[in-house]
Structure 1
Amino acid sequence: MNYLCTEDIHDVVSLVYEEAWGDREYTSILACGNSTLQIIEGNNFAYDLKLNSVPFTVALFMSDGGHTKMMVLYGTKSGRLGLASLPKGNGKVVWEMDTTSGACVTTISCYNVTGGQFPDIIVGKEDGLIEIYTIDETDNPHLFGTFSCEESITGISCGNVSSKTEIDIIVCTFTGWLFSLAKTSRPMIENLPVAANFNVKMQQLRSEVEELQSKVNEERLRYEEVTKRQGAGAGSTFFHTFQVHENFEYSAALGAYNLTIELVIPIDFVVVQSQLPIRLMEVEKNASVVSEVRQDALNPWPLLASYRCQANVCRLELRVQANEGDSGVINLYVCPKIMPKCAQV
C-alpha cells in the first residue's frame, strides 16, 4: 500500500486490527501541516477533518481507539489537546482544550498510571512540560498533575521499570536524557541492601564519576591544543557541525512570536539582529542574561541584543513583539560552548 500526501506529514497513527475497522480497509490518520487530519483508507484518501491549528502528533485514544475503536487524540503546535472521532465517511472533533502552556505538543501516550478506571493521557511538550490527564466516563479529560524537565520532550512510554507493582513514565528529551517518573516516592530498586552496603555503592559511583570527569577535562585540553596547532600551522581550523532545533510560532494569547532555540550541547550565547523595531519580552524560565545595544551611528540595527546563557543551558526561548504590517529579516547567531568558538546563523 502507498499514498502520496501533498502536505507536510508531522505524525501518523494506524489501526490494523480487523475488528477495529470492521469492513473498512487498513486505515491511517495523518497529522498534516495544513491544519487537518487526513484519513487514508488503503491507498485512497477518504476525507479530512479541519482543525483550528496545525496537529503535530497523534495517538490512539486509550491506546486502542476507545470504545468505538475509531477515536484519535491529537496535539497541536499551539499547545492544544483534542479528541477526534473518525468513523467511515465523516469525522468530528469530540473536544479540544488548552493545556497548561502554549508550547507545541510533541508526544502523547495513553496508559493507566494513576490507578483509575480508564487509561490516562500523558502529554509531552516542547517546553519540557509533562502533563497527566485522567479520563471520566464521558471521555472528558481532567488535569491530574504536571512535571517540568526544562528540555523538549521527544518521547514518552510507560511500564514497570523500577518497580514490579507501580507504573513508571519513561521520558526521552531532545538532548538525549532518559529518565522515569513515578506516582509515589520510592527507591529506584526494590529490596535495597542494608544502608552500609548502599553507602559503599554510592561512594564507588562518585569515584567513577570523578574519574570520568577528569578524563573529559584532559581530552578537552588536548583537543584545544590540537586545534590551536592546526590553526597556526595550516591557516585554518576544524569546526564542529551542530544541529540547531528552532521553532518560530505566533501566540495569539500572548500577542507575540515565540522563538525557541535548542541544541544537544550547551549554548554559550545567542545574538539577535533585526531589521525590524521589534520588542523583546521577558521569559521567566530563561536562565540567561540579556543585553541590548541602542541604535546609533555605530549600530544601524533597530534591535541588536545578546543572550548569554548560564552553565548547561541547552534550550533558549525568545519572545518578541512586532508592529502589525512590518516585515523584515531577523538574524540569529547561535554559539555553543565548544572549542574552538564557532557560530551558526
Structure 2
Amino acid sequence: MEAAAAAASPRPRATGCLTASTAGPQRASRWCPRQPRTASSSSSSSSSGGSPADLGLLRPRLRLSPSSPGRIAGGAPPVRARDPRAECAGGRSSAEHIGVSLEGENRVLEMSSTVPKSSNIFWHDCPVGKTDRQNLLKQKGCVVWITGLSGSGKSTLACTLGRELHTRGKLAYVLDGDNLRHGLNKDLGFAAEDRAENIRRVGEVAKLFADAGLVCIASFISPYRRDRESCRALLSDGSFIEVFLNMSLELCEARDPKGLYKLARAGKIKGFTGIDDPYEAPLNCEIEIKEVDGVCPSPSDMAAQVIAYLEDKGFLHE
C-alpha cells in the first residue's frame, strides 16, 4: 500500500537543484539553493530557530574535475540545473548565484559560501610576548625566505642552514614547499591562484614561527614577486630575509634532481616554472647567491653566507 501510494504521489522536488552524479560507487554530491522565503514561511520557522542555512552557516564547497586528485571515476560528472528559469538579483542565473562554473569538458562545480567574512573576532594578547620568548631562546625570531628555480639548491641550503644553526645552539625550523603540500596545502594545485594561496598560507605560518622566536627557514620556488612581497609585509620589523639562489635555468635543468624539467620538456607537466611559466627574480633581496663558473656553490658555503648575515644583523646574539 505504501509503495503504491508513493508511486502515485511522487515526492515534489525542490527547484534550482544542481546535482553531480555518477554510476560509480561513490555517493552523488547534491546542493539545493534555498528559494526566496515568503512571509508565511518565515514566521512559521521563527519558533524553531531556523535551519542552518537560515542561520548563515557555511555552505559546502565542492570541486569536481578530471584533474582533481579526488575526482569521481569515470570522467567529468554531469552537472545540470533542474530549474533553468530561476533568476537571481541582477539577472544572474541560479547557477551563477551559487558560484557554478562549467569549463568545457573539465566541468567544475564550485560551491562558495555566500556568508560574509567573520567580523566579530578579536585579537587576544597573552602576557608572554615575542621579546620574552626571544630572551628565553637567546636569539631573535626571523624568516629566512629562500627562493629560486627548481633545482637551484633551495631545500639543500635550507636543511644545511638548519643543521648549522642547531650546532650553534640556535632553534630553527624548516618549511619546505614539497613537505607542506603533503598536509597544510594538500588541497592546492599549481595554477596561479593556487600558488598565490600556497605562499599566503606559508607566509602566515612563517610569521608565527618568527613570533615564537625561531629562525624560520622557508624554502619555496615562490615564482611571483608580489606574493613574496606580501609575505615580507607581514614582518615589517626587518625580520624577513630574502635569499635568492640565482642559478641559471641551464644549470638547474642540468642538475634536475627530481626529473621535473625532463617531464616539463616532454609536455607531461604544464605550467612549470622556468619552462612555460615565469619566474620573477627579486629586485631587492637581502642575500643573493650566484653560481661560480657554471657550478652551484657548496651547501656549506651558501649556509655560511646566510649565517654571516644573521650574525651581522644581530639575530643570533644572546
Same fold (TM over 0.5): no
Greater Rg over alpha carbons, structure: 2
Q: TM-score, normalised by structure 2?
A: 0.27
Taking CA–CA contacts closer than 8 Å with sequence separation of 6 or more, which of the two structures ends up with the larger relative contact order?
2
Q: TM-score, normalised by structure 1?
A: 0.26
More helix by share: 2
